[in-house]
Structure 1
Amino acid sequence: MSLDAATIDRIVANVLSQLGSTPAAATDAPASDVAAAPAPSVSPAPSAPAPVRLDEAVITADVLERQAAGASVVEVGKKAVITPAARDTARERRIEIIRTGESPKANAQPTAKTVRPEAKPGSPSALACVVRHTDAVDRVLDDVLPGARKELLGCPDDAAKLAISALCRGETGQVLIFAEQTHRAACLANRNSKVKAVAIRDVLDVKAIRKQLRANVWCIDPADMSWFELRQLLRTICA
């Protein structure tokens, strides 16, 4: 079928009319018609956990397990004794132990460890591990080593373990262990290469040992010692 010129013109006119009525692209829409994206929400910073208060004079591992299960911060008294087993339990369970008046440091950024110089027995960083307790021990420590850190322990094994830990961490340069089994305490402590532990009985022992090595753990049995004898012994160690 042949088409005349008039018919062809009408067909072309209809096609052009349809193309001209095509709606504008969506990108031509005014910017005001586009919904603004919501601002991101900011979550408030988590608050520090409330510490669990323990009023016991001696904090043991059993006390932590019974009274601080699930806690992240435990507050104890300023003079409370914390046993080595309790410290191990706290480390294993990620429990921070603070004393009354201190603030939790769990969220603080870790800092580089400071290398501390070797301490002397008479310095505030001296450590006294008391397994065998007597009145003379308390009096002499207050007299000769008033700034010493004192820990009450249940056996010489715990004393040796605490001595190794304190020396390796740089918390002290000298340790005094008061126990009946002095040779056992010295033997267990000497398993670490940084420890030079000796068992002594009197001032003469101290002087003889000083000529041969630089001991940093002194194991003493105070059972049969008077206050005067023990005082002279500690003064010789501190000299």
Structure 2
Amino acid sequence: MNAPSVDAAAVQALVSEVLRRILAAQPAAPGTAPAVSREHTIADRVITLAHLDRVPGGIREVAIAEKSVITPSARDRAKELGLTFVRHAVGGSAASPDHPFVIAQAACRGDASSRVAAIARAIPQAQQLPASGLADMIASFAVQASKDAARGVLLTSRPAVAVILANRSASLRAVTARDAASLATAASDTAANLLIIDPAQFSGGSLERLCVDFHRTPSGPLPAELTTAPAGCGCKGHGHEAQADDTRTPALTLPGQATGSA
């Protein structure tokens, strides 16, 4: 009697689904904060069955590019898994070749390389700077912004210090916040060219979407309050008279954000 043939693809799909359900059913470790988002991002233009087999357990929404094509088998698998496709501006082309987008990390408590790589996958034209110290990284961003009108994102566990350091540079307008909506509003209000983000405050999907939206959204005009040079204190004993014609942008501090001292 002949043994029944085995479909290797079906076996692989079954194993993937079993593993997904096991991982989703496992309780979180004590003291572990729950995930902020249940969304996974796929930046590729064609969404296949293989993409869905790599979606982590517990995910309910899959963010894809506005013009991505979903194969029939991927669409069927999404229904089986209870996944919903949400179209976002993921992986779009650069707004202008004259305005590069830069991604970097500095002074992170953990290794943020995977977060930087995820952003780079969502923004294929982005340039990744090698990890370095916070002050050196801010200086690199300043050079990029001054030379090429670049915009970018810096991941760091010290956002307050990084914002103050960045806004000492004439070429940078940096903002930070603890949620995507506040950060997007701050960037729009100040025509910011640098987002400074603590990666611990954002899930992977929300961080990637935030960066993609910032990359694709043209920078608006600089607010009138930021176009004039700061007036100086008027004293003569501390060398401040040399700052009378200083045109650097004053530090930007968001409501509720500790200012600290650099």
Q: Calculate the TM-score normalised by the size of structure 1.
A: 0.44
